[in-house]
Amino acid sequence: APELYNPKEGRIVTANNDPYGHSENPKLSDFEDYFGIGFSTGCRAKRITELLDANKGRIDEKVVASIQLDHKDLVGERLVGVLETALAQPGFSEKLSPDAKRLVDRMLNWKATNFEARRNLKEPVLLYSWFSALSDRQFADIKEPMGEFFEYLKNNTVAYKTVYHKLKDGLAQEASIPETLKNVTETLEIAARGLKTSNTDNSTWGEVRKLKFNNILDGILPTALMFPIPRDGSWDTVDV
């Protein structure tokens, strides 16, 4: 297996990410360099690296604790960046419905809190509703055949990078801008309608994302403190 020994950076960072890039290699040489697709997006490892570098030379227990409890969501930051690029295109915002425009404005407000995935914020709910619509469209052909596994796929590095880079690259190449803007517009409308229909357009992150426990002795021993607990963080923050 690949390994790293005493790197010049003075630290080794891993957080369920693909540290070797093999999951992106289209021509795998049999099983020897295949490590699967079930990796995180890599945003957690990137954020840990950023915070370690920012505190270089003064790492102590307090700093490590602050890193462990960091809730900045780099997925949200990057997708909002793509959204801002789309908004800069002439005539884009005029094509949006009032509900979609409101959704966009509210997602942009997440910048004010530095993309913190806090339980009392509404912006993470809105952003991930849009990301879900983007993923559903991107992988529409395999959603039904994959069944329950599809939700797992949407949370790993392959899905995120496919959706993100298709948008980013599509807006960077003149020939693909119209089709990419159409995709952004339609998925924003889908997300806006879904939020309104499900009455989650004003829900906080803590109301829709809760820590759940499975009691393996349920029915044998009394259940104590097993109810869902609202909490900060996301799948892509250091504190998951």
Q: What is the pLDDT of residues 190-199, one digit of tens each?
A: 999 999 999 8
Question: Which has more confidence, 106 or 34?
Answer: 106
Contact 217, 24 (CB under 8 A): no
Output the pLDDT for position 223. Answer: 60
**Mean pLDDT in residue range 122-135:** 94
Contact 205, 117 (CB under 8 A): yes
Instruction: Tell me the three state secondary structure of residue 152.
Output: helix
**Mean pLDDT in residue range 118-145:** 91
Instruction: Tell me the three state secondary structure of residue 185.
Output: helix
Confidence of residue 65 (pLDDT cuts 50, 70, 90): very high
Would you say how long the chain is, in residues? 240
Nearest in space to 74 (alpha carbons), one of 221, 235, 227, 232: 235
**Mean pLDDT in residue range 68-95:** 95
Contact 150, 139 (CB under 8 A): yes
Distance between CA 160 and CA 194 in Å, rounded?
21
Question: Across all residues in the chain, what is the average pLDDT?
Answer: 86
**Mean pLDDT in residue range 72-81:** 95
Instruction: Tell me the three state secondary structure of residue 37.
Output: coil
Output the pLDDT for position 21. Answer: 67
Q: Is the pTM of this model over 0.75?
A: yes
Maximum distance among all alpha carbons in the chain?
63
Output the pLDDT for position 152. Answer: 72
How many CB atoms neighbour CB 54 within 10 A? 10
Question: Which has more confidence, 22 or 207?
Answer: 207
Output the pLDDT for position 17. Answer: 85
Confidence of residue 33 (pLDDT cuts 50, 70, 90): low
Confidence of residue 50 (pLDDT cuts 50, 70, 90): very high
134-185 confidence digits (pLDDT tens): 988 988 887 788 777 777 777 666 678 888 989 999 999 999 999 999 999 9
Distance between CA 225 and CA 228 in Å, rounded?
9
Output the pLDDT for position 11. Answer: 85
Contact 157, 42 (CB under 8 A): yes
96-111 confidence digits (pLDDT tens): 999 999 999 999 999 9
209-231 confidence digits (pLDDT tens): 887 766 666 666 666 556 678 88
The residue to which tokens 């992988």 are assigned? 139
Output the pLDDT for position 228. Answer: 77
